[in-house]
Chain A
Amino acid sequence: MMNLDPDTFKMPQARPFGQVDKPILRLEGIRKVYGAHVVLDDVNLTLRSGEVVAVIGPSGSGKSTLLRCINMLGPATSGRVVFGDLTIDEAASPTTQQLTHLRRSVGMVFQSFNLFPHMSVLRNVSLPQERVLGRSRKEANRRSLELLARVGLEDKADQYPARCSGGQQQRIAIARALALEPQIMLFDEPTSSLDPELGLEVLAVMQELARSGMTMIVVTHEMNFAETVSDRVIIMADGKIIEEGPSKQVMRDPQSDRAKRFLKAVKDR
């Protein structure tokens, strides 16, 4: 059973959305080119704490690439990431300390889960805590079991990932990312590799996470999630943001032609 109780679930940024304060994350002038191919074309983004943003759009629009610019997994050619006091220039090489600080605070969940198959589920969630946060094994395991319980999988702790279904693996991956107590969670098409039924388990976890006040950016094809769970929707195409605004407004009444075409194609399936 899942039990994401906002009071005991220690989220550092559990504030209601809408408070006027400094944005938690800003992307300025993000531009990425591969030779002659422009993957991201001057993208700007502001994220407020507690906000849930869904990023949708056709394949090749640069959505996943944009996520990877945030935590510098695939740095952009130019542009800046401003996270709290930390300003990172994408073109420069940030120090190891800056990178570690950034990646501790920004968690990521992948389409292919990327669990470590040669370790038990528990160790998957504990190892990063030990190595990145310096927690003792006992403390890390304790935290891991808490998180696994919260995503409903504490009985899988001693199993190996191969024995778990796709939906279970993705929930474990979410627990692993949460174990580092990030302030922002990035989701890169978390349900695209899953059967619709298994995808529902994962979406439910993400919904509880959102309700508890986590700041999230979710790249997804799940239009229902975009409309009902996220606060804001961004539509990307050809490396640019073509439409942006409150979810219901963007999903029901898009302004630009390109956005209209995309949403029509999606709805007509």
Chain B
Amino acid sequence: MSELLGFWIASLPQLLGGLVVSLKVTGVSLVIGIPLGLLLALGVQSKTRLVNLVSLLIVEVGRGAPALVVLQFAYFGLPSAGLTLTAFAAAVFALAWNTGAYTSEIIRAGLESVPYGEIEASSAMGMLRSDTLRFVIIPQGLRVAAPPLLGFATQILQATSLCFAIALPELTSNAYMIGTTSFRYMEILTLAGILYAAICIPATLAVGVLEQRLGKHAL
């Protein structure tokens, strides 16, 4: 047992380094992906046909294609079109697209949860559609969307493990590397699992708490 612990402690720095990369990719993908999700949520409801179709296309491909495929498309495919991305950039490209596509649904549901009566009242007072969106719909809609968005964030952290396929030195890749040199796959992969769980489990609990506390302001 203490030998196992020794092995774990020795491997920890490398794994933590990988975890940091995973978290960085997650963070950047969310920072780009969630605003993209908001844009797409508005875009799929747009009355302008072009905007509507383009948004729909981006969402359907982002949701329909496996992240693993989009990752490899970005890293191995784009170079033949003249765009060579680093593993990190390719990872963010793929995961931000994924995020945007999925969160557009979450955010759209949130925006639609705003009671129609409030929108009527805004129109009745002569407020412009853009003002109604800005002051009434989006603030409330995002509040409703916040818990599922946080839940989705943990999904993206888990998705970074797929970046193994494009040689990004994230947590799973590093664990695998240690496995190939030490042949102690079981032990090192378990440690990696513990690290993922250590972040995802509290995050899931936080989502539950958030959902309860957000019931406060609603009428």
Encoded as 1 (CB less than 8 Å from any A CB) or 0, chain B from 35 to 51 comes to 00000000000000000
The stretch among A44-52, A100-108, A143-151, A250-258 that forms the contact with chain B is: A100-108
The reply to whether B123 and A114 form a contact with Cβ atoms under 8 Å apart is: no
CB distance from A39 to the nearest CB of B (A): 17
A114-B115 Cα distance, complex, nearest whole Å: 8
Given A73-B120, A116-B136, A176:B217 Cβ within 8 A: no
Q: Among residues 59 to 101 in chain A, which have CB atoms less than 8 Å away from a CB atom of chain B?
A: 71, 73, 96, 99-101
Choose the segment among B54-62, B70-78, B103-111, B127-135 that binds chain A (4+ C-beta atoms closer than 8 Å): B127-135
Min distance, Cβ B216 to any Cβ of chain A, angstroms = 8
Residue from A71, A107, A118, A132 in contact with B143 in the complex, judged by beta carbons closer than 8 Å: A118
Residues of B in contact with A, size category: 20 to 34
Report yes or no: A71 in contact with B219, Cβ–Cβ below 8 A. no
Are B126 and A118 in contact (CB-based, < 8 A)?
Answer: no
Residue of B nearest to A133 (CB): B126
- Return B146 CB to nearest CB of chain A, in Å: 13
> Which residue of B117, B123, B128, B217 contacts A118 across the interface (Cβ within 8 Å)?
B217
* Interface SS, B side: helix
Q: Tell whether, in the assembled complex, residue A114 and residue B117 are in contact, meaning their CB atoms are under 8 Å apart.
A: yes
Tell me the minimal C-beta distance from A74 to chain B in angstroms.
9
- Cα(A103)–Cα(B127), bound, Å: 9
The 8 A CB mask of A99-126 against B (1 = contact, 0 = none) is: 1111110011010111111110000000
Chain B contacts for A27, CB-based, 8 A: none
Distance of A173 Cα from B219 Cα, bound (Å): 14
Q: Are A162 and B217 in contact (CB under 8 A)?
A: yes
Which residue on B lies nearest to A160, using beta carbons?
B217
The listed residue (A73, A100, A114) touching B118 by CB distance below 8 A is A114
Most chain B CB within a 10 A radius of its CB, from A102, A104, A131, A161: A131
| B interface list, Cβ under 8 A from A | 115, 117-118, 120-128, 131, 135-136, 139-140, 143, 216-219
Other contacts beyond A101-B126, A104-B126, A119-B135: 18, CB < 8 A = A73-B120, A73-B123, A73-B124, A102-B126, A104-B125, A107-B125, A110-B117, A110-B120, A112-B117, A114-B117, A117-B140, A117-B218, A128-B122, A128-B126, A131-B128, A131-B131, A132-B126, A162-B219
